[in-house]
Amino acid sequence: MLLLRCPLLLLLLLPPDSRPQKLPTRDEELFQMQIRDKAFFHDSSVIPDGAEISSYLFRDTPKRYFFVVEEDNTPLAVTVTPCDAPLEWKLSVQELPEEASGEGSGDPEPLEQQKQQITSEEGTELFSYKGNDVEYFVSSSSPSGLYQLDLLSTEKDTHFKVYATTTPESDQPYPELPYDPRIDVTSLGRTTVTLAWKPSPTASLLRQPIQYCIVINKEHNFKSLCAVEAKLSSDDAFMMAPKPGLDFSPFDFAHFGFPADSGKERGFLKSSKFGRQMSPKPRVDLQRICIGNKNIFTVSDLKPDTQYYFDMFAVNTNTNMSTAYVGTFARTKEEAKQKTVELKDGKVTDVFIKRKGAKFLRFAPVSSHQKVTFSVHSCLDAVQIQVRRDGKLLLSQSAEGVRQFQLRGKAKAKYLIRLKGSKKGASMLKILATSRPNKQSFPSLPEDTRIKAFDKLRTCSSVTVAWLGTQERNKFCIYKREVDDNYNEEQKKREQNQCLGPDTRKKSEKVLCKYFHSQNIQKAVTTETIRGLQPGKSYLLDVYVIGHGGHSVKYQSKLVKTRKFC
């Protein structure tokens, strides 16, 4: 029987005349009480029977754990799980010490001498391993003795887990893997990957509660869920580590021949929290998804033409212990190559972009040029524009309404323009590229394109409105349309396509056209009274400014209503 409880090691270290001739077997009721109290084994040097412990190693600082097997021919299983660094570990056994003679005097040996007798002798090595795999030592018949587990990390400070049991057949805390533990990629898209795997026999045969957790990242496969958790923690969980020299607990002192208050004298027991506590910060390149007991899942929202690594862990929800399937990797499909639209110098091009989509345009001036101008007229929501010259990024901005970008030219240069649409819906825009500085197709606009209505000048048959102009002489046309009384802002918003010009309006809706400008930008304001309206009726007013090239831009629509009684 494996005795990994703390009181046993204390019995080993007590004077010979104070301990019984035979070590007792495991008191199951007491053992269950002890393993429920996680603090009981925290940072202890004794491994409990049938419970997984978590601990921490400082780089190049070995750590030793003990447990006792009382009887010969006892089954034994030991599992060591490295978390975020490879480990070197060794399992050895030495005979239990005989009762001391006290140099023939019959007096018991001092506690310190007994402790040294147990721990200083080199035992018989049973197993050793070096690496970052989850590794096991399993024996159906182990000799009695004091077992020592020595661990060392030579790379960096790291977490690890240890599990040992003398009843491996009945315990089975780790989910069992199927005969084929691989993850299959059943479907591959530009942004999705579908995975399938065979269920764990622990769930299908033993009917134990199992859930599956998928881990997705772009770097490498993981060999344990412990390694994933270490990666997800801030600073690789280093800030959660105990401080050097304080890696003890009251249990260590009380059960290795030291008085229980030794730690207090040194200030070791003032707090159970060592080091600064920092909340974990999930990293964007690593994602963990637990999906219940399904054995097929589609991972979505991936990037096209990107390699991802996929790991699957079966987790026993009763014990919270897990087993890793054989991980896999896959590269998502490339984005469909889009046709690049050629822009002609000085000619306006209409562009339509799907929601969240993008379009690529190319501009190659035929002659040498000192400057190149890109004019963008976004018909609906703002769009993102990027301009590269011979691969070098020159411009990356958001464009709303009419925007003009002037860039320094270069002989024989070629320009690649990337237009990205809105997340809200489809985008429409007009774009003009030119190497001739005086070629302007879009009219200039003021910063404020709203139409203002004067409530005090409103009558039963007329309304008076005003709008801003610019220093450039342009043609302005105003149109009216009668609408229902329940016409609202949402309907008006749907009609805010600034690229629809006066040519789409009925002739009966036209009020007038006039030219207007002012050298003093502060005085660039014009007013107009619209007559011949019906009492108590609602009208939608639109103002269009028309540039020298014939292209128009619509101001923001204005909803007005005449007085019902005058």
For residue 507, the model assigns a pLDDT of 92
Residue 249 clears pLDDT 50, i.e. is over it: no
Average pLDDT score over residue span 351-372: 86
173-185 tens-digit pLDDT: 889 999 999 999 9
Helix (H) or strand (E) holding 119: helix 111-119
Cα angle value 275/279/284 (rounded, 5°): 130
Residue with tokens 């409880």: 5
For residue 117, the model assigns a pLDDT of 54
For residue 443, the model assigns a pLDDT of 84
Q: Which two tokens stand for residue 249?
A: 């607990």
Average pLDDT score over residue span 376-403: 88
pLDDT-derived band at 421, boundaries 50, 70, 90 = confident
For residue 535, the model assigns a pLDDT of 94
For residue 263, the model assigns a pLDDT of 36
Question: 207-211 — which CB contacts under 8 Å span 24+ positions?
Answer: 208/175, 208/316, 208/318, 209/316, 209/317, 209/318, 210/175, 210/293, 210/314, 210/315, 210/316, 210/317, 211/290, 211/291, 211/292, 211/293, 211/314, 211/315, 211/317
Which range in 26-30, 262-266, 382-386 is most confidently predicted, on average pLDDT?
382-386
| Top CATH class, 341-434 | mainly beta
For residue 490, the model assigns a pLDDT of 67
pLDDT-derived band at 489, boundaries 50, 70, 90 = low
Alpha helices in 41-110 (DSSP H): none
Residue 162 clears pLDDT 50, i.e. is over it: yes
522 Ramachandran zone, left/alpha/beta (phi>0; psi -120 to 50): alpha
Burial status of residue 504 (CB atoms within 10 A of its CB: 0-12, 13-18, 19 or more):
exposed
CATH 2.60.40.10 in the chain is located at 174-235+285-336, 451-561
196 vs 238, 273, 294, 310, 436, CA distance in Å?
A: 35, 42, 9, 11, 59
For residue 44, the model assigns a pLDDT of 59
371 vs 408, 423, 435, 513, CA distance in Å?
A: 5, 32, 6, 35
Average pLDDT score over residue span 343-365: 89
For residue 22, the model assigns a pLDDT of 34
Q: Which two tokens stand for residue 380?
A: 């609906």
25 vs 53, 201, 536, 565, CA distance in Å?
A: 21, 32, 98, 102
pLDDT-derived band at 382, boundaries 50, 70, 90 = confident
Sign, CA torsion 512/517/518/522: positive
CA distance 499 to 503: 11
Range in 2-16, 517-531, 534-548 the model is least confident about: 2-16
CA distance 228 to 215: 8
CATH 2.60.120.680 in the chain is located at 51-95+123-171, 341-434
For residue 261, the model assigns a pLDDT of 40
| Top CATH class, 451-561 | mainly beta
Range in 49-58, 157-166, 236-245, 286-295 the model is least confident about: 236-245
473-485 tens-digit pLDDT: 889 999 999 998 8
For residue 387, the model assigns a pLDDT of 93
- Please name every residue paired with 352 in a beta bridge, in sequence order, or none if there are none: 428
pTM for the predicted model, two decimal places: 0.50
Average pLDDT score over residue span 278-306: 81
Residue 547 clears pLDDT 50, i.e. is over it: yes
CATH fold, domain 174-235+285-336, is: Immunoglobulin-like (2.60.40)
CA distance 21 to 32: 25
Residue 318 clears pLDDT 70, i.e. is over it: yes
Q: Give the 3-state DSSP-derived string for 474-527, with helices as H, strands as E and coil as C.
A: EEEEEEEEEECCCCCHHHHHHCCCCCCCHHHCCHHHEEEEEEECCCCHHHCEEE
371-381 tens-digit pLDDT: 898 988 888 88
For residue 493, the model assigns a pLDDT of 65
1-35 tens-digit pLDDT: 444 433 334 334 333 333 333 333 444 454 444 44
Average pLDDT score over residue span 321-331: 93
Task: Tell me if 186 sits within 8 A of 310, measured CB to CB.
Answer: no
Percent above pLDDT 70 for the chain: 76
Residue 259 clears pLDDT 60, i.e. is over it: no
pLDDT-derived band at 409, boundaries 50, 70, 90 = confident
CATH architecture for segment(s) 51-95+123-171: Sandwich (2.60)
CA distance 121 to 90: 15
For residue 132, the model assigns a pLDDT of 87
For residue 38, the model assigns a pLDDT of 43
Task: Tell me if 453 sits within 8 A of 464, measured CB to CB.
Answer: yes
For residue 99, the model assigns a pLDDT of 52
Task: Tell me if 274 sits within 8 A of 241, measured CB to CB.
Answer: yes
How much is the mean pLDDT over the chain?
Answer: 78
For residue 531, the model assigns a pLDDT of 94
Percent above pLDDT 90 for the chain: 35
SS3 29: helix
55-106 tens-digit pLDDT: 889 999 999 998 888 888 889 999 999 988 899 999 999 887 665 334 444 4
